[in-house]
Amino acid sequence: MPDSRTPSGDQPSDQTVPKVVVSRISLYLRELQRLQAAGQQTISSGTLGALLGFSDAQVRKDLGFFGQFGYPGVGYRCDELIHAMRDILGTNHRWPVVMVGVGNLGQALLGYRGFGRQNFSIEAAFDTDPSKVGTVIQGLTIRDVAELPEVVRRLGIRLGMIVVPADRAQEVADRLVAAGIDGIVNFAPVTLTLPPHVETVAVDLAIELEQLSFAVTNKFGKPAGEGPAGAQEPR
Amino acid sequence: MPDSRTPSGDQPSDQTVPKVVVSRISLYLRELQRLQAAGQQTISSGTLGALLGFSDAQVRKDLGFFGQFGYPGVGYRCDELIHAMRDILGTNHRWPVVMVGVGNLGQALLGYRGFGRQNFSIEAAFDTDPSKVGTVIQGLTIRDVAELPEVVRRLGIRLGMIVVPADRAQEVADRLVAAGIDGIVNFAPVTLTLPPHVETVAVDLAIELEQLSFAVTNKFGKPAGEGPAGAQEPR
């Protein structure tokens, strides 16, 4: 849709960069942050790739989508590359985020330190359960979901997280969209229907287990103790 | 590495199938399960793709890695395709899983229904905190991590989940490997060093927010209220 806001730098639009490249940028960033915390100042594309199981060509090709980085014979300076990657991802700025749903998972997410480390800050959390509204979790007072539009507007919030059961996720998504949210991370195991201007990323906590199941199955065969052949076999 | 255990069917090994294809199989499966629950019996590649934002050609190409599915003029039967995808992923069998770490996130995962729906069952949970060991959460008695090898062996468990803080994740990974685990889902925001025969999938709960940040940043520009130009601007 036409929009007066455009990317401010010379970054390509997200339509020209494959999603898988963007997800590898997150992985490179994590690894660089880990290396920097351990005191390392520079790194080569080969070493960075090897630490993550990619070739050096892959690393250079991925970074090539976004510009020229590094120095001949030296490699990359960790601090510069971290800054560049945060620029790419849009996380050199702190993002305020709203969360809807403070069940077990929501409460865990409120205490998850990985968000703050990547510059995301959960500024408000909502629920519909009267026994939760008004309670304080991790320093945040849980609000009634009816207050969502006012809070989103007042705090200038653009990102929301849906952490409610699957059968309530679409209704919550509609509320977030109506409140003016531009992007949604959805933890509910259901596909949302959203207007085209709203970006969404789904989190399904079972998908990683499925991917692991595929990898282990295709390497080793079926689960031990399952199926006719292995039913009584010890491992 | 050479291994006497080989895939039992005509499935290609995971080395021939790009990881991104396997992750889309999980997405197709979720959507098919949702459609089936809503009473739908057949679906075309075009409709399935459209629901997820992929082309029909993409859907057919992805499925083509694993065989021939569907009927001309009819499309796919949902139940057959669900069964086929579970066969691909190795989840027509139930997988027993162990979990290490029952902090906030671990407790949330113990109550997460998405695992059971995809045929994963957390059969044992471990912690080192004496105040947690022996307590019952979601029907499971939390065990001391020292019991890990015995439990893994007795229950024939091959998959483990690490849900401990980042600075303890490698130590827990080493324990899981020593206990004979073949695959690890790692929720700690740190890269693990593992022997080559052990598969691993990392979960980083901030990565989805980063991916969303990229998408929203490249569509709309910087976060509202951040940076010199927008510092005092209302949305």
| CATH code of B53's domain | 1.10.10.10
DSSP-assigned states of every residue in chain A = ---S---SSSPPPTTTS-HHHHHHHHHHHHHHHHHHHTT--EE-HHHHHHHHT--HHHHHHHHHTT---SBTTTBEEHHHHHHHHHHHHT-SSPEEEEEE--SHHHHHHHT-HHHHHTTEEEEEEEES-TTTTT-EETTEEPEEGGGHHHHHHHHT--EEEE-S-HHHHHHHHHHHHHTT--EEEE-SSSPPP--TTSEEEE--TTHHHHHHHHHHHHHH-SPTT-HHHHTT---
Range B60-80 average pLDDT: 92
B11 found inside a domain: no
Q: Are residues A73 and A109 in the same domain?
A: no
Q: Are residues B74 and B101 in the same domain?
A: no
User: What pLDDT score was predicted for residue A1?
Assistant: 35
d(CA B158, CA A213): 10
Residue A156 has pLDDT above 60, yes or no: yes
A2 found inside a domain: no
**A106: pLDDT confidence band, cut at 50, 70 and 90?**
very high
d(CA B12, CA B27): 20
The answer to whether A209 contacts B103, with C-beta atoms less than 8 Å apart, is: no
Q: Say what the ipTM of the complex is.
A: 0.83
**Nearest Cα residue in chain B from A117:** B206
The answer to whether B118 contacts A205, with C-beta atoms less than 8 Å apart, is: no
Range B59-77 average pLDDT: 91
d(CA A40, CA B191): 16
Q: Are residues A84 and A130 in the same domain?
A: no
A11 found inside a domain: no
Q: Are residues B43 and B130 in the same domain?
A: no
Range B157-178 average pLDDT: 96
B25 found inside a domain: yes
Which residues numbered 166-205 in A keep a CB inside 8 Å of some CB on B?
180, 182-185, 189-191, 197, 199-205
Mutation target among B10, B47, B214 for the A interface, most CBs of A within 10 A: B214
**B6: pLDDT confidence band, cut at 50, 70 and 90?**
very low
A89 touches chain B (CB under 8 A): yes
Average pLDDT, chain B: 86
The answer to whether B120 contacts A206, with C-beta atoms less than 8 Å apart, is: yes
B219 found inside a domain: no
Residue A2 has pLDDT above 50, yes or no: no
User: What pLDDT score was predicted for residue A143?
Assistant: 98
**How many domains, chain B?**
2
Q: Are residues B78 and B102 in the same domain?
A: no
Query: A205: which chain B residues are within 8 Å (Cβ-Cβ)?
Result: 109, 112, 114-115, 203
Q: Are residues A128 and A192 in the same domain?
A: yes
Q: Are residues A99 and A78 in the same domain?
A: no
**B131: pLDDT confidence band, cut at 50, 70 and 90?**
very high
Q: Are residues A147 and A188 in the same domain?
A: yes
B29 found inside a domain: yes
Which residues numbered 11-50 in B keep a CB inside 8 Å of some CB on A?
11-14, 19-20, 22-23, 25-26, 29-31, 34
- Cα A147 to chain centroid distance, Å, stands at 25
Q: Are residues B72 and B102 in the same domain?
A: no
Q: Are residues B150 and B185 in the same domain?
A: yes
Burial of B57 (0-12, 13-18, 19+ CB in 10 A): exposed
Q: A122 CB contacts (<8 Å, ≥6 apart)?
A: A97, A98, A99, A109, A110, A115, A140, A161
The answer to whether A158 contacts B118, with C-beta atoms less than 8 Å apart, is: no
**B85: pLDDT confidence band, cut at 50, 70 and 90?**
very high
d(CA A95, CA A199): 15
Residue A15 has pLDDT above 80, yes or no: no
**Nearest Cα residue in chain B from A16:** B218
B221 touches chain A (CB under 8 A): yes
Query: B8: which chain A residues are within 8 Å (Cβ-Cβ)?
Result: 221-222
Considering A57, A89, A121, which residue would you say is the last residue of a domain? A89
Range B100-118 average pLDDT: 90
Query: Which residue pairs from B90-94 have beta carbons closer than 8 angstroms and sit at least 24 positions apart in sequence?
Result: B90/A213, B90/A214, B90/A216, B90/A217, B90/A218, B90/A222, B90/A223, B91/A210, B91/A213, B91/B118, B91/B119, B91/B120, B92/B119, B93/A222, B93/A223, B93/A226, B93/A227, B93/B119, B94/A223, B94/A226, B94/B119, B94/B120, B94/B121
Considering A60, A89, A118, which residue would you say is the last residue of a domain? A89
B10 touches chain A (CB under 8 A): no
**Nearest Cα residue in chain A from B103:** A108
For residue B191, give its domain range. 95-208
Burial of A72 (0-12, 13-18, 19+ CB in 10 A): exposed
Residue B225 has pLDDT above 80, yes or no: no
Q: Are residues B81 and B136 in the same domain?
A: no
Structure tokens at B128: 């080192």
B229 found inside a domain: no
Nearest to A22 among B114, B214, B227 (CB): B214
User: What pLDDT score was predicted for residue B5?
Assistant: 34
**B223: pLDDT confidence band, cut at 50, 70 and 90?**
low
Query: B161: which chain A residues are within 8 Å (Cβ-Cβ)?
Result: 209
B8 found inside a domain: no
Considering B45, B64, B89, which residue would you say is the last residue of a domain? B89
d(CA A24, CA A19): 9
For Cα atoms B24, A218, A187, give the angle at the middle one, nearest 5 degrees.
Answer: 35
Q: Are residues B102 and B201 in the same domain?
A: yes
The closest alpha carbon to B188, from B96, B95, B105, belongs to: B105
A107 touches chain B (CB under 8 A): yes
pLDDT tens digits, A16-39: 788 778 988 998 998 999 899 999
Mutation target among B31, B109, B212, B232 for the A interface, most CBs of A within 10 A: B212
Do B142 and B136 touch, CB atoms closer than 8 A? yes
- Taking the model in full, what pTM does it have? 0.71
Average pLDDT, chain A: 86
**B190: pLDDT confidence band, cut at 50, 70 and 90?**
confident
In total, the C-beta contacts within 8 angstroms joining chain A to chain B are 267
Domain CATH code at residue A179 = 3.40.50.720
The closest alpha carbon to A31, from A43, A48, A8, belongs to: A48
